């Protein structure tokens, strides 16, 4: 495999840092190629602005149009182009981060906002009354697999079916489905480590073992069966799931998982 | 009212800019006090790091503990303290932003990550086997009201009950419930403007009118009836909704809305 890890934590000597180290060692040791973007170490710029689009930035700025023009003409900022190149190089993408306020830290959101430009992350393919883009199963990153690895401060019960934060799968849907599946990547089930601030040495050793197992079985892991947008399950251009297709008991985000 | 607007768009002459201008004019014109944090204009720093915690930052950095210590000792970065002061001053908070990748732009996420420190945004009150903090209805910002105003590129059908992106209320739950209700603010229904990139002059005039109506009726608007964590609906410390309390047809995030 060619594995690209995007690491987003301000302290390298943290649990997230340890999980990234384990991933690099385990995957390299198994003969895979690994590249890491350590966003804090890179001093990653988090905010989309006119500087991202170089000479094609318009005035007033039009983020969608300008990002597409900059992508098409090669005018995107060098740091953004470098990340797009790593995504194209990879067959497997891992995002490693702490869950802050129920989603990614800002630095990682800024990696998504800046790297997933129009024409790359979205706005790919025909948009008409009969087709709404190559997305959700198709797109520039089709053929790749992606996976979240995250640490969570609270206990698992708070993120369970009746937990006050909502089910973890629902909290991660906007990232897994909205960011990763949108440009065509297949999404593997996440690796989630709860009570991250209070891990005993034994609990860490156990977690590290489970993480290594996940890493060494990435190639055989079945993706979450999200429904492809353009395979007949959806009304186009409303992009609503056709009546009667839902699995029993599924609603909300869960409608978009088959079977 | 004392209204605090947090504005997060890189182009002031944008639809988001127009909505913020309308809010300032409408509310000021009605005799209310208004303060605005224009995050791009302020060149807001988006990333949590050791610099936020001044002399109390530990090495290695411990974000949760250090942010709490810095908050308690007054050592937080001046820009963070200024935003906390604006939140304390306000009785009403509005976040104005474009929906990027199904959530806030990175600069606004970075405002949350940095301003909602331990001891202010979370980690308030007793944490024990019988009590899990003053949160979800209680906390440092209790007594205030908050509201999201956002622009969305796609059409409303994509964000409807069976839409591929999931229901907009579910996409906003991690912000409305997880960020705003968590430190105690009551959350008003959001103002959402779809197809934001393709608004005709007529559609904009219509939206502007609806926005003014929402602004002028803020004081009479009923909040979303999220369930308070500490009023008996939840098992503590599991913080799971007790069996049998759910409204008919509600599941997932919807469980945590009463009635």
**Residue pLDDT, tens place only, A34-86:** 999 999 999 999 999 999 999 999 999 999 999 999 999 999 999 999 999 99
| Beta-carbon separation of B112 and A101 below 8 A | yes
Q: Which long-range contacts (CB under 8 A, 24 or more apart) does B119-127 make?
A: B119/B67, B119/B68, B119/B71, B119/B72, B120/B71, B120/B84, B120/B183, B121/B179, B121/B182, B121/B183, B122/B182, B122/B183, B123/B64, B123/B68, B124/B183
> Does the CB of B166 have a partner CB in chain A at under 8 Å?
yes
CA distance A121 to chain B (A): 10
Length of chain B: 259
Average pLDDT, chain B: 97
Under the banding of pLDDT at 50, 70 and 90, the label for residue A247 is confident
Q: For A2-223, CATH number? A: 3.40.50.360
- Distance from C-alpha of A102 to C-alpha of A246, rounded to nearest angstrom: 27
For B106, the closest of A102, A113, A164 (CB atoms) is A113
pLDDT score of B28 more than 90: yes
**Residue pLDDT, tens place only, A146-178:** 999 999 999 999 999 999 999 999 999 999 999
Under the banding of pLDDT at 50, 70 and 90, the label for residue B194 is very high
pLDDT score of B259 more than 90: no
CA distance A143 to chain B (A): 21
Q: Least CA distance to A240: which residue of chain B? A: B163
Q: b or e along A160-194 (b: 16 or more beta carbons within 10 Å of the residue's beta carbon)?
A: bebbbbbbbbbbbbbbbbbbbbbbbbbbbebbbbb
For A110, the closest of B46, B167, B254 (CB atoms) is B46
Give chain A positions within 8 Å (CB) of B48. Answer: 10, 100, 105-106
Under the banding of pLDDT at 50, 70 and 90, the label for residue A249 is confident
Under the banding of pLDDT at 50, 70 and 90, the label for residue B129 is confident
pLDDT score of B68 more than 90: yes
- Distance from C-alpha of B7 to C-alpha of B17, rounded to nearest angstrom: 8
Give chain B positions within 8 Å (CB) of A10. Answer: 47-50, 61, 63
State the pLDDT at residue B128: 86
For B60, the closest of A11, A171, A252 (CB atoms) is A11
For A10, the closest of B49, B112, B240 (CB atoms) is B49
CA distances from residue A187 to A19, A180, A200, B147, B244 in whole angstroms, order as listed: 19, 7, 30, 33, 34
Residues 6 or more apart whose Cβ sits within 8 Å of residue A161: A167
For B46, the closest of A11, A106, A163 (CB atoms) is A106
Average the pLDDT over B25-47 and give the result: 98
**Residue pLDDT, tens place only, A192-226:** 999 999 899 999 999 999 999 999 999 999 999 99
> Does the CB of B165 have a partner CB in chain A at under 8 Å?
yes
- Pair A10, A40: CB distance under 8 Å: yes
CA distance B163 to chain A (A): 4
Q: Which helix (H) or strand (E) holds A92?
A: strand A92-98
Give chain B positions within 8 Å (CB) of A237. Answer: 155, 157
pLDDT score of B247 more than 90: no
Structure tokens at B37: 């944090």
Residues 6 or more apart whose Cβ sits within 8 Å of residue B205: none
Q: What is the DSSP letter of A237?
A: T
| Beta-carbon separation of B61 and A101 below 8 A | no
CA distance B30 to chain A (A): 30
- Pair B196, B151: CB distance under 8 Å: yes
Residues 20-39 of B with CB under 8 A from A: none
Residues 227-256 of A with CB under 8 A from B: 229, 234, 237-241, 251-256
**Residue pLDDT, tens place only, A88-147:** 999 999 999 999 999 999 999 999 999 999 999 999 999 888 899 999 999 999 999 999
Residues 91-120 of B with CB under 8 A from A: 98, 100-107, 109-110, 112-113, 116
pLDDT score of A248 more than 90: no
For A253, the closest of B101, B116, B170 (CB atoms) is B170
> Does the CB of A153 have a partner CB in chain B at under 8 Å?
yes
For B106, the closest of A109, A157, A160 (CB atoms) is A109
Give chain B positions within 8 Å (CB) of A113. Answer: 100-101, 105-106
The four Cα atoms A210, A145, A95, B169 give a dihedral, to 10 degrees, of: -110
User: What are the percentages of helix, strand and coil residues in chain A, rounded to 5?
Assistant: 40, 15, 45
Q: Least CA distance to B254: which residue of chain A? A: A166
How many beta-carbon contacts under 8 Å exist across A and B?
184
Q: Which helix (H) or strand (E) holds B160?
A: none
In three-state secondary structure terms, B89 is: helix
> Does the CB of A128 have a partner CB in chain B at under 8 Å?
no
| Beta-carbon separation of A49 and B110 below 8 A | no
Please state, for a pLDDT cut of 70, what percent of chain B lies above it. 100
In three-state secondary structure terms, A157 is: helix
pLDDT score of B248 more than 90: no
Residue B59: phi and psi, rounded to 5, are -135, 110
> Does the CB of A78 have a partner CB in chain B at under 8 Å?
no
ipTM of the complex: 0.98
Q: Least CA distance to A100: which residue of chain B? A: B113
| Beta-carbon separation of B229 and A47 below 8 A | no
For A252, the closest of B104, B166, B239 (CB atoms) is B166
């Amino acid at each position: 495999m060619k594995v690209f890890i995007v690491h987003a934590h301000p302290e390298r000597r943290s649990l997230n840092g340890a999980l990234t180290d384990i991933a690099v060692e385990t995957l390299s040791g198994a003969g895979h190629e690994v590249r890491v973007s350590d966003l804090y170490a890179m001093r990653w710029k988090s905010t989309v602005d006119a500087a991202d689009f170089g000479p094609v930035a318009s005035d007033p700025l039009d983020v969608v149009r300008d990002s597409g023009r900059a992508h098409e003409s090669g005018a995107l900022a060098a740091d953004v182009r470098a990340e797009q190149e790593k995504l194209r190089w990879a067959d497997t993408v891992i995002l490693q981060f702490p869950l802050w306020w129920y989603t990614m830290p800002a630095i990682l959101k800024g990696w998504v906002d800046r790297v997933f430009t129009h024409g790359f992350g979205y706005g790919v393919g025909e948009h008409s009354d009969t087709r709404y883009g190559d997305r959700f199963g198709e797109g520039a990153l089709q053929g790749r697999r992606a996976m979240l690895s995250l640490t969570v401060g609270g206990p698992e019960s708070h993120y369970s079916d009746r937990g006050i934060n909502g089910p973890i799968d629902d909290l991660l849907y906007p990232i897994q489905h909205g960011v990763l599946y949108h440009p065509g990547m297949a999404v593997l089930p996440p690796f989630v480590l709860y009570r991250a601030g209070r891990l005993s040495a034994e609990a860490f050793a156990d977690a590290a073992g489970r993480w290594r197992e996940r890493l060494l079985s990435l190639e055989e892991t079945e993706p979450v069966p999200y429904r492809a947008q353009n395979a007949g399950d959806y009304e186009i251009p409303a992009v609503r799931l056709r009546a009667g297709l839902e699995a029993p008991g599924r609603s909300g985000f869960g409608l978009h998982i088959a079977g």
